[in-house]
């Protein structure tokens, strides 16, 4: 991706240009730009938007427009790859309404051909296991941006064990306060530091492996 294309993608998301997003995505795909490269720019842009929102430099409508823009830009890529496809259930734990990172992960996994059941944010913990069982999920993913709700991730894992699905469904976690050390300590099968790495993580989990990918790892 050249500098002009980078700026085009970045500007579209940061400024919430929803009406241009699909067209830009189609032009990038036609130009042979890999979805992974597009995803890297989207992460940069959404990190900027998330920071500005938290600092109250922009309001909720601008955040929503940015989110819609990145989703629409990925539409031309969705289903373009079906390698290692599987079923993934994703959500942000209860008492946490921060879902920018989760939305990015859902979008990127859909691009790579996975069927993703998005539970949204502030999700009651029982709903994770219920949805995983109902959909025949291969992978259950949960995240949080808050240190106060990190224990909820371990609770979900305990609920998976109680439901008898621990040996059938892989459990992955993510979010700003999560670390490889924490993921291993609670017994999660995987952790990824961002949406791009989550694609790599899910591919490993689908093969039956465990993987822990911090944001500084696995990048070219």
**Strand (E) positions, 28-113?**
87-92
pLDDT in tens, 113-124: 899 999 999 999
pLDDT confidence of 219, banded at 50, 70, 90?
Answer: very low
DSSP 144-158: -S-GGGTHHHHHHHH
pLDDT in tens, 94-152: 999 988 889 888 888 887 889 999 999 999 999 999 999 999 999 999 999 999 999 99
pLDDT in tens, 156-179: 999 999 999 999 999 999 998 999
Instruction: Supply the DSSP symbol for 216.
Output: T
Global confidence as pTM: 0.78
Write down all domains in the chain, each with its CATH number in brackets.
3-77 (1.10.1240.10), 87-213 (3.40.50.280)
What is the residue whose two structure tokens read 């689908």?
Answer: 206
pLDDT of res. 218: 41
Contact 120, 99 (CB under 8 A): yes
């Amino acid at each position: 991706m050249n500098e002009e294309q980078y700026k085009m993608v970045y500007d579209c998301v940061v400024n919430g240009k929803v009406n241009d997003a699909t067209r830009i995505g189609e032009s990038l795909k036609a130009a042979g730009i890999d979805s992974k490269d597009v995803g890297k720019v989207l992460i940069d842009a959404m990190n900027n938007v998330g920071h500005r929102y938290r600092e109250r430099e922009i309001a909720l409508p601008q955040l929503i427009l940015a989110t819609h823009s990145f989703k629409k830009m990925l539409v031309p890529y969705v289903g373009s790859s079906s390698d290692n496809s599987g079923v993934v259930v994703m959500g942000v734990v209860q008492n946490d309404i921060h879902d920018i990172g989760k939305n990015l992960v859902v979008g990127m996994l859909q691009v790579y051909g996975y069927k993703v059941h998005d539970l949204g944010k502030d999700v009651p913990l029982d709903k994770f296991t219920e949805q995983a069982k109902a959909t025949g999920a291969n992978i259950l993913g949960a995240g949080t941006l808050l240190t106060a709700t990190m224990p909820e991730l371990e609770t979900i894992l305990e609920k998976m064990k109680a439901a008898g699905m621990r040996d059938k469904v892989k459990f992955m976690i993510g979010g700003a306060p999560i670390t490889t050390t924490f993921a291993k300590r609670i017994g999660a099968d995987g952790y990824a530091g961002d949406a791009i790495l989550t694609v790599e993580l899910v591919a490993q989990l689908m093969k039956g492996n465990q993987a822990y990918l911090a944001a500084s790892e696995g990048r070219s």
